[in-house]
């Protein structure tokens, strides 16, 4: 192989390009409108425009990608993950065009692409599976009946699903019908296939997966496990290896089953066999969940402890080479952890956020690896996954890798957009997580982040002092230029000045005055003495009540983005007067919680609705959200149409109660 086209974008495109460069392979990147200025486009040897930003018009346009591959005379296509990575039809199209698809055979992809078919194959091969329904009859009525047989709580999954999409936990009968409809619609939207499977919902399970790699000569081994139980919305955010709970005996046993699962479908290339592990009276039971027929997001964790380059192995086996590694050669050394940095608000139900990254900086640290395609000025758009970066640390033991991770997370700068950075720090500091005592519900059940995150008065005071002094400095610089300014200004300055800010829903009222080379601030009846102020190039340093802080501060319109390693990220808004939150809200008005596309409108004008009835379904960044009626009433006006894109805060409809 001399030349590879990467049918993907973002950090995984960068990751693949890096290995190709190491191997001396020419890379061809493809990009959409939204990605025109992304770093991966520059990192490839050549990059070709693919189409508009919506995935269907670019990264999912199979024919266009094959066409570009032929024009560029590449030998192979690497699909990365997501998009076309698990699309059997695409793999076949590549082969038909005489291009190597870097991944398993179309048959293997197809058999595992359907969760129902996969479960049937695995059951036959003697792999333990989660009890449930995976039949072909898919009417709502039949699914309801089967669901009742499985019992509550249960999980609805899209058979063609992935990434937690099309998945609904259902706890009671009254929710069942709408959950089935909604899961079907989400599945149809995301995978063009609305088939569902039903599984018993395992209340306390751990997600343990095994990396496997096979060649085209029948050799297949596993590369140990990854523990991926720290999830929100059924999607992983932290992965570590080795798992804190697996004994060597259990590891070998599950590893053997993973290999058996791979061999059952003559698997070649890199793949992952996912299990759910449940404790049962001190002993562990494990069930096959699914097999992902591609490279995983979290593959770096395995690379760190095995010393292998999985992308290189993928390329080598796709070239037809024999795996040189034997199972006995695979030994994990040390400990690795990965945290996924997402553009999302952990204090608001992990709602995705979009916007511009005003500053991006990675700290220098031994054993730290960051996989990303972000740079200062980069945009997080509504079109793709909100993952910004993967932060990976390695240590000789778990505590060392964790300590490095916490430090790296605290010192990473991603300013200008709401991210889960501070939430990841919080998780790293969580005692139960540190002790390895967690399951897949850890975030939901053990982390009350919104109330536990201490936006202490001190933190808010310090950040509002920084915002105030940034403006003060700006005015001061202007004043020096405007020599005609009346001298009375200075006297005035010894009087109290006032500034108001809004942080989330909290109003901050700041008073300050100049005082002997420094400032005295009064915020919420507390006094703060400020000394040693220095501001330049979006950096501010100052001493507040005897403690010295150094922060990044960037102002955009009336918003201040402030990052301080010890305090985390704050976004303050300057306001003229405190708005009356209640009176500003339109009564009966329903607004889009984030930039989104209107998927389905479930009501009509003049329709009477009951409290809790679904009104509108919106989608954003691969996620579906249903807006429900807060109270009973009549729909007065609908301001949107299906398919329309709206900004966050846009009013969707008006109800009269």
Closest separation between CB of residue 379 and ligand ADP, Å? 27
Closest separation between CB of residue 109 and ligand ADP, Å? 14
Residues between 436 and 475 with contacts to ligand ADP, criterion CB under 6 A: 440
Alpha carbon 470 to chain centroid, angstroms:
32
Catalytic residue from among 26, 226, 294, 340: 294
Beta strands (DSSP E) in 427-566 are: 497-503, 506-515, 518-523, 526-536, 539-544, 547-556, 559-564
Closest separation between CB of residue 276 and ligand ADP, Å? 6
Catalytic annotation on 331? no
Nearer to ligand ADP, 189 or 569 (CB): 189
364 Ramachandran zone, left/alpha/beta (phi>0; psi -120 to 50): beta
Nearer to ligand ADP, 202 or 270 (CB): 202
Alpha carbon 82 to chain centroid, angstroms:
13
Closest separation between CB of residue 373 and ligand ADP, Å? 22
Closest separation between CB of residue 510 and ligand ADP, Å? 45
CA angle 239, 267, 184 (to 5 degrees): 65
Question: In the stretch 38-57, what mask flags binding to ligand ADP with x, by CB under 6 A?
Answer: --------------------
Handedness of CA 42, 43, 45, 46 (dihedral sign): negative
Helix (H, G, I), strand (E, B) or coil at 393: strand
Collect all residues with Cβ–Cβ distance below 8 Å to 560 and sequence separation of at least 6.
463, 466, 467, 470, 501, 553, 554, 570, 571, 572, 573, 574
Among 32, 87, 231, 296, binds ligand ADP (CB under 6 A): 231
Maximum separation of any 2 CA atoms in the chain, in Å: 89
Closest separation between CB of residue 153 and ligand ADP, Å? 8
CA angle 360, 361, 366 (to 5 degrees): 150
Helix then strand then coil, in percent of the chain rounded to 5, is 30, 35, 35
Tell me 558's DSSP state.
T
106 binds ligand ADP (CB under 6 A): no
Nearer to ligand ADP, 234 or 493 (CB): 234
Nearer to ligand ADP, 199 or 215 (CB): 199
Question: In the stretch 324-363, what mask flags binding to ligand ADP with x, by CB under 6 A?
Answer: ----------------------------------------
Nearer to ligand ADP, 147 or 530 (CB): 147
Closest separation between CB of residue 575 and ligand ADP, Å? 41
Nearer to ligand ADP, 199 or 303 (CB): 199
Give the integer Cα–Cα distance in Å for 470 and 512.
Answer: 13
| Cβ atoms 358, 554 nearer than 8 A | yes
| Phi/psi of residue 405, nearest 5 degrees | -65, -45
Nearer to ligand ADP, 172 or 249 (CB): 172
Q: 14: closest CA among 405, 412, 390?
A: 390
Give the integer Cα–Cα distance in Å for 510 and 501.
Answer: 8
Among 86, 225, 240, 274, binds ligand ADP (CB under 6 A): 274
Helix (H, G, I), strand (E, B) or coil at 490: helix
Question: In the stretch 285-324, what mask flags binding to ligand ADP with x, by CB under 6 A?
Answer: ----xx----------------------------------
Closest separation between CB of residue 390 and ligand ADP, Å? 17
Nearer to ligand ADP, 191 or 590 (CB): 191
Closest separation between CB of residue 290 and ligand ADP, Å? 5
Nearer to ligand ADP, 60 or 289 (CB): 289
State the Cα torsion 540-544-548-553 to the nearest 10°: -20
Count residues binding ligand ADP (CB under 6 A).
Answer: 21
Among 20, 129, 130, 374, binds ligand ADP (CB under 6 A): 130
Residues between 148 and 207 with contacts to ligand ADP, criterion CB under 6 A: 155, 157, 161-164, 167, 199-202, 205, 207
Write down the residue that tokens 């053990």 correspond to.
446
- For 45, half-sphere exposure in the C-beta direction (CA atoms, 13 angstrom radius) is 14
Residues with a known catalytic role: 294
| Residues in contact with ligand ADP by the rule CB under 6 A | 130, 155, 157, 161-164, 167, 199-202, 205, 207, 231, 234, 274, 276, 289-290, 440
């Amino acid at each position: 192989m001399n030349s590879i086209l990467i049918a993907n974008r973002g950090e995984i495109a960068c990751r693949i390009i890096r290995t190709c460069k190491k191997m001396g392979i020419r890379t061809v990147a493809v990009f959409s409108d939204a990605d025109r200025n992304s770093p991966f486009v520059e990192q490839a040897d050549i990059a070709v425009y693919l189409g508009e930003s919506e995935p269907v018009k670019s990264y999912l346009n199979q024919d266009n990608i094959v066409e570009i591959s032929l024009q560029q005379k590449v030998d192979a296509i690497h699909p990365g993950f997501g998009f076309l990575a698990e699309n059997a039809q695409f793999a076949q199209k590549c082969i038909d065009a005489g291009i190597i698809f870097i991944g398993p055979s179309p048959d293997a992809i197809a058999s595992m692409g359907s969760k129902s078919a996969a479960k049937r194959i695995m059951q036959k091969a003697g792999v333990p599976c989660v009890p449930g329904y995976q039949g072909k009859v898919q009417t709502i009525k039949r699914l309801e009946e089967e669901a009742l047989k499985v019992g509550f709580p249960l999980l609805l999954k899209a058979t063609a699903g992935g990434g937690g999409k099309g998945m609904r936990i259902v706890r009671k009968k009254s929710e069942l019908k709408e959950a089935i409809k909604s899961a079907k619609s989400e599945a149809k939207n995301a995978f063009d296939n609305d088939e569902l499977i039903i599984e018993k919902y395992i209340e306390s399970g751990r997600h343990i997966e095994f990396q496997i790699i096979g060649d085209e000569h029948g050799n297949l081994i596993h590369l140990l496990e990854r523990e991926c139980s720290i999830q929100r919305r059924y999607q992983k955010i932290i992965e570590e290896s080795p798992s804190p709970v697996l004994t060597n005996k259990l590891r070998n046993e599950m590893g053997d089953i993973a290999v058996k699962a791979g061999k059952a479908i003559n698997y070649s290339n890199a793949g992952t066999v996912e299990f759910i592990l449940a404790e049962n009276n001190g002993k562990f039971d494990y069930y096959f969940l699914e097999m992902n027929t591609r490279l995983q997001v979290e593959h770096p964790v395995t690379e760190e402890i095995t010393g292998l380059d999985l992308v290189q192995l993928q390329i080598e086996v796709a070239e037809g080479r024999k795996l040189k590694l034997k199972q006995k050669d695979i030994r994990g050394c040390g400990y690795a952890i990965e945290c996924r940095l997402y553009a999302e608000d952990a204090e608001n139900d992990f709602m995705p956020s979009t916007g511009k990254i005003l500053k991006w900086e990675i700290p220098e640290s031994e054993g730290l690896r960051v996989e990303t395609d972000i740079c200062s000025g980069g945009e997080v758009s509504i079109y793709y996954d909100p993952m910004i970066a993967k932060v990976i640390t390695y240590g000789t033991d778990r505590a060392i890798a964790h300590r490095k991770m916490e430090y790296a997370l605290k010192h990473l700068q991603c300013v200008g957009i709401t991210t889960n950075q501070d939430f990841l720090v919080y998780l790293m500091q969580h005692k139960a997580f540190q002790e390895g005592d967690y399951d897949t519900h850890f975030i939901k059940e053990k982390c009350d982040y919104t109330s536990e995150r201490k936006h202490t008065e001190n933190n808010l005071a310090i950040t509002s002092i920084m915002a105030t002094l940034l403006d003060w400095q700006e005015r001061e610089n202007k004043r020096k230029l405007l020599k005609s300014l009346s001298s009375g200004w200075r006297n005035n300055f010894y009087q109290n000045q006032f500034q108001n800010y809004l942080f989330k829903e909290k109003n901050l009222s700041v008073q300050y005055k100049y005082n002997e080379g420094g400032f005295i601030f009064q915020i919420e009846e507390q006094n703060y003495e400020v000394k040693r102020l220095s501001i330049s190039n979006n950096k501010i340093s100052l001493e507040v009540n005897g403690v010295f802080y150094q922060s990044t501060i960037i102002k955009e319109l009336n918003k201040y983005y402030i990052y301080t390693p010890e305090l985390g990220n704050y976004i303050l808004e300057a306001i003229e007067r405190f708005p009356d939150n209640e009176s500003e809200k339109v009564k009966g008005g329903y607004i889009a919680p984030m930039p989104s596309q209107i998927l389905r409108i479930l009501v009509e004008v003049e329709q009477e609705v009951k409290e809790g009835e679904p009104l509108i379904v919106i989608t954003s960044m691969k996620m579906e959200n249903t807006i429900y009626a807060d109270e009973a009433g009549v729909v007065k006006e609908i301001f949107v149409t299906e398919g329309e894109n709206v900004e966050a805060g846009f009013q969707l409809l008006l109800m009269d109660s």
